[in-house]
Structure 1
Amino acid sequence: MQTITIAPKSTQPLTVNRLGYGTMRLTGPEIWGEPANRPEALQILRTAVESGVTFIDTADYYGEDVTNRLIREALHPYPSELVICTKVGATRRPDKSWVPYNTPENLRASIDNNLRTLRQEQIQLVHLRLMGHGPVSLDEQLGAMFEMQQEGKIQHVGLSNVTREELQTGLQLGEIATVENMYSYAQRTTMKLPHGANPGGEEVLDLCEQHGIPLIPFFSLLHALPKTGSKIAEVARQHNVSEAQLNLAWLLHKSPCLLPIPGTSSLAHLRENLQAAAIRLSPEDMAYLE
């Protein structure tokens, strides 16, 4: 796989392979509870790393705490080249709703919980997920994150689910290592969801390129596939690959700063997703898809 470097100008840059794995789908229905097939979930994590994945995305509110515990069980002690990225800023209620958990005290509690469940002394990369405009300002949230970075609990700080304006504000407040936004061939701009809006990757892509910030697309497969007969289906047939694989290949070719993290609860689908790194799209393919 190609590689990408996180925080290349820092004293502790992280270089990872450019197709990661997102763990959200390892949980039960509605991203809640234990996986339906726990042995397969553990094997997916091991196979991903054995196949060259060096970037894994998680959050303590997946499950809750389910994916962190699966990662620890499957992979600890962690390979030296593996980067585990987690998220804070949200939590789940018993009714499975998503709510902000973003006061400085909340964020500190989440970081401590991630350190404990992942069995780490320092988290290499943490995304602050923004959950709309509430009583806690972005300045206050990021201030708490940078404080924990100075304490050594966090190595690099990123932002997730951010608008263009929020990213611009974040860049003025401190070093933003990465951005994680929804992004796929078929879903590039803001999407309205029951628990709020998800800003699209295309809205911040040029800023990320300008500042050398890797953009990590999430839900890159969930909303990836447009209606039958689309351009992506046609190009996929020409390359003898699935539309999902073609979508991942499109992301990898769209910009060198993109780091897709397709998730799945199927070992077979994991292997299919990873094969997307070998697909080569021509400039003509990309122009046609655009």
Structure 2
Amino acid sequence: MLNKGTITIAGKSENPLTVNRLGYGTMRLTGEGIYGEHPNRPEALQILKRAVEAGVNFIDTADYYGEDVTNRLIYEALYPYGGDLVICTKVGATRKPDKSWIPFNTPENLRSSIENNLRTLKIEQVSLVHFRVMPGVGDFEESMEAMFQMQQEGKILHVGVSNVSRDQLETAIKMGPVATVENMYGHAQRNSMKSHYGDTNGGAEVLDICEANGIPLVPYFSLFMSMPKKDTRIAEIAKKYAISEVQANIAWLLHRSPWILPIPGTSALKHFEENLKAAEIELTKEDMDFLE
């Protein structure tokens, strides 16, 4: 079903990870406001099991989803984990009871988050961890030093960055091996913007750096931010192929660059199945020129 090939994470390292080029983001397997339990826990578990059955072997999570909700679901649905399954988590943020998002990015905070992920996922090493930059607070280089230190200790196999500017990405690459970048990116929303989640850095601003360095770009909010804008070009492509606009968005990401690893998320099994089918869609050069 997943016919868009594979992508290799940390290809120049001693421990590269090769995954199929359509992952799954678990953020929607939570309650309202990305907080608390999913309203249909059996369906949430079913989505995770179905993902692995379909060949999805890259799953994105964070201990501040819920909180800890998605990690506990992943453990319940998928443990013991298959040898080719890459569970990617994020650190650098936490939640308050009012559901707000706040920085949690001092070296001590980051270490606490890693230990929590190891505990809730029941693993001894996290395969891939993104340091999530929160706006306005914290020393980026100090945080990255802490991440690379935990990599040296063996708690983290590969280090990635999330929500980074062009300058931050270039700084991180100079400091150590950056495996992946997770920035906001979708057809209708590619550049930096302000949202209720805080300042967000777009994938368009860093994609060329990723491609030049062989670093996969993992787009978040690829559908959440793009779909409300209802880009008429996406609608025309969807009509042309008798597919949904969501599927057209995912297909565009898969065709945009071989270094993009989409992780569309959903809380409904029906929509998950529709997202999987987007990997079967073939867009022409003319389609891509039209969408650009």
User: Normalised by the shorter chain, which TM-score bucket?
Assistant: over 0.9
SS in 2 for 1:158: strand
**What does residue range 103-122 of structure 1 map to in structure 2 within 5 Å?**
103-122=106-125
How far did 1:265 drift? 0.4
How far did 1:229 drift? 7.2
Aligned AA (2:85): L
Identity fraction in percent: 65
Listed one character per residue, the Cα deviations across residues 63-90 of structure 1 (whole Å, up to 9, x for unaligned) are 0000000000000000111000000000
Aligned-partner Cα distance in 2 for 1:167–1:229: 29
Q: 1:271 to 1:9 in 2, by over 3 A?
A: same
Q: Which runs of 5+ in 2 are unaligned?
A: none
Q: Match of 1:241?
A: 243
Aligned-partner Cα distance in 2 for 1:194–1:234: 30
SS in 2 for 1:149: helix
Aligned-partner Cα distance in 1 for 2:46–2:197: 31
SS in 1 for 2:134: coil
Listed one character per residue, the Cα deviations across residues 251-274 of structure 1 (whole Å, up to 9, x for unaligned) are 000000000000000000000001
CA RMSD of aligned residues (A): 1.0
Aligned AA (1:258): I
Q: Match of 1:53?
A: 56
Q: Which runs of 5+ in 1 are unaligned?
A: none
How far did 1:226 drift? 5.8
8 Å CA contact 1:60–1:68 kept in 2: the answer is yes
Instruction: Select which of 199, 208, 224 maps to 1:197.
Output: 199
Aligned-partner Cα distance in 1 for 2:285–2:239: 17
Aligned AA (2:202): G
Aligned AA (1:254): R
Listed one character per residue, the Cα deviations across residues 172-228 of structure 1 (whole Å, up to 9, x for unaligned) are 111100000010000010120124111111010000000000000001111222655
Deviates more, 1:219-228 or 1:280-289: 219-228
TM-score where L is the length of structure 2: 0.97
Q: Match of 1:273?
A: 275
TM-score where L is the length of structure 1: 0.98
**What does residue range 1-290 of structure 1 map to in structure 2 within 5 Å?**
1=3, 2-134=5-137, 136-225=138-227, 230-290=232-292
Q: 1:92 to 1:227 in 2, by over 3 A?
A: closer
Q: 1:236 to 1:114 in 2, by over 3 A?
A: same
8 Å CA contact 2:25–2:61 kept in 1: the answer is yes
8 Å CA contact 1:224–1:244 kept in 2: the answer is no
Listed one character per residue, the Cα deviations across residues 37-67 of structure 1 (whole Å, up to 9, x for unaligned) are 0000000000011011000000000000000
Aligned-partner Cα distance in 1 for 2:27–2:227: 19
Give the count of matched residue pairs: 289
Aligned AA (2:95): R
Aligned AA (2:224): L
